[in-house]
Amino acid sequence: MIPIITEEHSSLVFAEVFQDIKGWRKNMVQYLKDENPEINTAILEVANNTDLDPKAVALGAYMTYRLLELAFEEDDNLGFDSEQG
C-alpha cells in the first residue's frame, strides 16, 4: 500500500520544482538514473513514445516519484510498516 500524500508533501515538492523547473527536472533524471534506473527508463519511454509533451510527462512523473518518496520517508520515520498498511 502506498502512503498518503499530504498537503505538506505537495507544498515541499512544489517549492522545489517551481524554483527552477528545467534544472529540477534535469536533476531528477540524474538522481533516478542512480537511485532507480528502471523507473527512470519507464518515465522516459512514456515521455518519448506518446503524442504528449515529453517534458511535461516527465515532470509529472518525477514530481509523483518525489511525492511518494517523501511520504514513504515520513511513514518510515513514524514507524509504520508500509507492507501492512
Closest residue by Cα to residue 63 from 38, 43, 49: 43
Q: How many angstroms separate the CA atoms of 85 and 82, rounded?
A: 5
**pTM, to two decimals:** 0.83
Q: How many angstroms separate the CA atoms of 35 and 47, rounded?
A: 19
What pLDDT is attached to residue 74? Answer: 87
Span 32-65, pLDDT tens digits: 999 999 999 999 999 999 999 999 999 999 999 9
Judged against a pLDDT cut of 50, whether residue 82 lies above it is answered with no
Q: How many angstroms separate the CA atoms of 72 and 8, rounded?
A: 13
Q: How many angstroms separate the CA atoms of 76 and 60, rounded?
A: 24
